[in-house]
Amino acid sequence: MKIFQKGKIKLTMTDQQLLGVNTLSDKTEIKNALIKKISDLDFEIDIEKIFNYIHCSKRLIKNAGSEVTLDDTVITDEYREVIKDFNTEEGYDTPEELIRYFEILYDNPTTRFNKLLWKSVLESLNKFDGKKLENYLQPVADFLNAKPFLKSDVLLLIADALPFGKFFPKVKNEQNAAFWQQYGFVHHLLAAGNLELDLHADIINTGQFSSSQLDDIYNRLMNSSNYYRNNLLPQAFNALSDGIPADIKPLLIWQRELNILYKAVFIEKVDNIIDLLQNTLHNALTAFPDDEHLLYIRAKFLFHFYEPEQFKDKIIETLKIIPDHAKCLFLLGKCYLQLEIPRAALIIFENLKKINPLNMQYVTSAAIASRKYIDFCISKHDPKDNDKQYYVSIISTLIEKGMFDEVTVFADEAPKEDGDIRALLLYSKDVETFLVTGEKNKEKLIEALSLTKDKEIIRKIKEHYLHDLLYFSDIQSEKDFIFDYYRENPNDSMANYHMGMFYFAESNHEKAYDYLLKAKEINPEKISNYYNLARVTSMLGIHSEALEYVNIYLFYNKYNVIANEIYCDCTYALQQYRNAHNGAKWLLSICRNNEFDPKYFFYFTTSLSYHMDKIEGKYHNLAYVNDMLELYDEYPKPDTFWINDNGSRSMYWAANLCYKIGNYEKGVTYLQCILENVKEYNWPLLEKCKFQLLPECLHALQQYERLIQLLETPTLEVLQKHQDDPSVRLSCFYISYAYSVQGNDEKKMQWALSCIKCYQQMSDPPIDWLANNLLVNFQACLENNMKPYLMAFGNIYLDFIKIPQGGHVWLTHHFANFYSEEGNQDEALKYHQMCIEFGWIFPEEWKELVANSQDFINTAKLSGNLK
């Protein structure tokens, strides 16, 4: 068996063929393919096959690509146009200015719920002292009274930015009753937020409605909710139904209306409104015929009024439109229970439980269906038959369902001395013990194996024996058992799985991949196959395939830390930096205190920085990056943070982000923290921090005295150890610039020359930059009569810049003049001659300088100085 092929993803081909999909990235095609596949199937007889198709479609959809979402790191041209009038650098000096901008934000549906933009406006108030901010309190409170429909996160920002403790009285009494009547609602908003609005703000705000229409709809929804909570159902319904034409009524309003009517009819038993419910449902489905929630409400309505046999036909009609709708499948399962079809009901509930294991309705319904199915099997059996195979089958089923008390009952009826039955009973006892204690009695399991010849019983016992081996050492110790199990069951999914895990434990990842892939192909429903395939393929460096597997696993287990780590590993390796950053953000949010790993912080900042490199600077969303840096600071750092390179590197990239967005002081803080904690052995990181990014940040802050104090001595120490070390080239450059600002020309040139020499030692120095820098420094030396540095810069230029440039003409001409003024005519003539020769290469650009050099040479000849 050799099916290992790098880069070829068997998963998608297998599922693609099963469902008959042509374009894997088209979710609509996947959904339509599912509908087509189940259209002719029987929802009772073929229910297992139907769920195979449903699970297959979910796997394909998971890997079809994420929904198109806005990139939080990017400000679009449209958004830039919206916010162009928001200049927050100077702040809002008067309450009137602040309220004017609040109104602009609020009245534009595209900016009303943009937390980052509100934050930017409110942060501009930080420069004011508390006394001045008190002048803003009543105008902001009046604004919120008039325009209250903001999300909780924005209200929290407002509450944090302004000292409302000075505005609201500490106690309520008769003297301030009028105040509380006017501003009590605002106090509630700022204290408790707008949780009701948070749920449906974005669902309604689709661009279809103006700001005033949004306010009307939000007001109706919130009033309706208040009535609903107080069980005033007529008022709750009327608040939504009156005044909004059906042709523009949002889907959420239809859904709320029907929820209210459903409660009135089926819970409160209100008379005479069934027709209203039916009419509203008809109108809603006319407007939104494919909406799954509306179809589900119709199904619930039919469940109450139709006989089970009639309802079964109707719900199956609905499921042929939305075959993967869990709630409709649940109703079909309940219907099957009513119709005494427990097997189909059990299959439905077990599969729903697999999709959502935390749903207690699914769990309890599966238990009820199990009980009914067992009872059904018992009812069909005559104990007088004493059929051994019946007892083997029923006891096996009971063990599978965890119904161990019933196993004991059937054991009393079954043939006592039969080896297969005795083996099953030992197996049952051990499974029950393991579920309670987590321990197995392997000696008893070996005894059970010795009692039976039944291949299926042997397979189940061996599967249990190998179940839940937590450590690689445990797996390796069971080598012989695993190989025997596989030899007996080469086409069994679990046998291949355990072979794969054995080779994984042996670090033979290619063989592990072969067996795990076969295990997945035999049983694509077992989720652990995808997890371990993701681990193995990631270690093999097949990151695109690993990403496919881990995506499927995370669909069912999104809180698994290791799986999320693999997701970050893969997306980062594939240079999907936005996904890697978002994955790390989610990973950090789900970690418990003992689970934080320095690598997660590395992915969080590094991926964001790399992602921003792909975006033009003017589109960077600075507020988002600041928010992410706040998150980075808030998460607890593990004890290994500084002894693990990923921790210190994550902070370096945090500083890099600060530099990108102009938050230079915070960048310096990060860099100094690194320098205080990172040991000398991590030289590459120290080099980047101390001698590259730190001087850049200090230069941007124009803190030149601080730059010299922090960098001059350590840079000198490096140069003393390693002359002209290129790692300190930027440090030399910025120290030179700092001395230039201070007017210290000697120090400026000293460090400028060191900078040039360091650049010369690079494997691929920036020639054009060096040429320009040498010319600039040469000219400065001319102007300041700094002879030693002038000669040094000039000679380096002519020696190092091999390909002639216009600068060669200029420099040799001025070099000649310098030597002429020094009285060294021989050197002057040499450089004038060089100027003429370089001038021939650029005949049109440097005519005047070339002519001057020629005149000098001619004059020298006439005076007889030439030999």
User: Averaged over 431-437, what is the pLDDT?
Assistant: 91
Nearest to 197 by CA among 241, 257, 155, 230: 155
The reported pLDDT for the residue numbered 9 is 36
Distance between CA atoms of 452 and 438, rounded to whole angstroms?
A: 25
**Is residue 97 located within the same domain as residue 186?**
yes
Q: Is residue 111 part of a domain?
A: yes
Is residue 533 a contact partner of residue 520, using CB atoms and an 8 Å limit?
Answer: yes
Distance between CA atoms of 11 and 115, rounded to whole angstroms?
A: 41
Q: Is residue 850 part of a domain?
A: yes
**Is residue 421 located within the same domain as residue 448?**
yes
HEC secondary structure over 628-659: HHHHHHHCCCCCCCCCCHHHHHHHHHHHHHHH
User: Averaged over 556-573, what is the pLDDT?
Assistant: 94
User: Averaged over 267-296, what is the pLDDT?
Assistant: 91
Q: 114 CB contacts (<8 Å, ≥6 apart)?
A: 105
22 against 447, higher pLDDT: 447
Q: Is residue 44 part of a domain?
A: yes
User: Averaged over 281-297, what is the pLDDT?
Assistant: 92
DSSP three-state, residue 620:
strand
Is residue 88 a contact partner of residue 120, using CB atoms and an 8 Å limit?
Answer: yes
Distance between CA atoms of 511 and 806, rounded to whole angstroms?
A: 64
HEC secondary structure over 124-177: HHHHCCHHHHHHHHHHHHHHHHHCCCCCHHHHHHHHHHCCHHHCCCCCCCHHHH
**Is residue 359 located within the same domain as residue 391?**
no
Over residues 513-535, the pLDDT tens digits come to: 999 999 999 988 888 999 999 99
Q: Is residue 385 part of a domain?
A: yes
Over residues 130-171, the pLDDT tens digits come to: 889 999 999 999 999 999 999 998 999 999 889 998 899 888
Q: Is residue 864 part of a domain?
A: yes
21: confidence class by pLDDT, cuts 50, 70, 90: confident
The reported pLDDT for the residue numbered 103 is 92
**Is residue 368 located within the same domain as residue 392?**
no
Percent of the chain clearing pLDDT 90 (strictly above): 58
Beta bridge partners of 620: 74
28: confidence class by pLDDT, cuts 50, 70, 90: confident
Provide the whole-model pTM.
Answer: 0.73
**Is residue 362 located within the same domain as residue 440?**
no
2: confidence class by pLDDT, cuts 50, 70, 90: very low
HEC secondary structure over 811-826: HHHHHHHHHHHCCCHH
pLDDT at residue 1 tops 50: no
**Is residue 35 located within the same domain as residue 140?**
no
Over residues 575-610, the pLDDT tens digits come to: 999 999 999 999 999 998 788 999 999 999 999 999
Q: Is residue 640 part of a domain?
A: no
**Is residue 101 located within the same domain as residue 184?**
yes
User: Averaged over 37-44, what is the pLDDT?
Assistant: 91
pLDDT at residue 383 tops 80: no
Most confident by average pLDDT, 57-66, 402-411, 497-506, 681-690: 497-506
CATH number for the domain including 348?
A: 1.25.40.10
The reported pLDDT for the residue numbered 239 is 92
469: confidence class by pLDDT, cuts 50, 70, 90: confident
The reported pLDDT for the residue numbered 77 is 62
Task: Provide the token pair at 264.
Answer: 């009135």
User: Averaged over 828-854, what is the pLDDT?
Assistant: 89
pLDDT at residue 837 tops 60: yes
pLDDT at residue 726 tops 90: yes
User: Averaged over 804-822, what is the pLDDT?
Assistant: 90
User: Averaged over 294-314, what is the pLDDT?
Assistant: 92
**Is residue 82 located within the same domain as residue 174?**
yes
Q: What's the chain's average pLDDT? A: 88
Last residue in a domain, options 360, 379, 398? 379
Last residue in a domain, options 193, 219, 252? 193
pLDDT at residue 620 tops 50: yes
**Is residue 95 located within the same domain as residue 167?**
yes
**Is residue 33 located within the same domain as residue 101?**
no
Which domain does 332 fall in, by range? 309-379
Over residues 184-243, the pLDDT tens digits come to: 999 999 988 888 888 888 888 777 888 999 999 999 999 999 999 999 999 999 999 988
The reported pLDDT for the residue numbered 386 is 58
The reported pLDDT for the residue numbered 268 is 87
Last residue in a domain, options 379, 414, 439? 379
The reported pLDDT for the residue numbered 719 is 93
Count of the separate structural domains present in the chain: 5
Nearest to 569 by CA among 547, 540, 552, 597: 547
**Is residue 85 located within the same domain as residue 19?**
no
**Is residue 337 located within the same domain as residue 387?**
no
User: Averaged over 58-79, what is the pLDDT?
Assistant: 64
Tally Cβ neighbours within 10 Å of residue 455: 10
pLDDT at residue 6 tops 50: no
For residue 384, the 8-state DSSP code is G
The reported pLDDT for the residue numbered 78 is 58
The reported pLDDT for the residue numbered 11 is 39
Q: 543 CB contacts (<8 Å, ≥6 apart)?
A: 537, 569, 570, 573, 574
User: Averaged over 104-128, what is the pLDDT?
Assistant: 86
The reported pLDDT for the residue numbered 68 is 45
Q: Is residue 767 part of a domain?
A: no
Q: Is residue 734 part of a domain?
A: no
User: Averaged over 737-757, what is the pLDDT?
Assistant: 95
The reported pLDDT for the residue numbered 122 is 86
The reported pLDDT for the residue numbered 5 is 39
Is residue 745 a contact partner of residue 779, using CB atoms and an 8 Å limit?
Answer: no
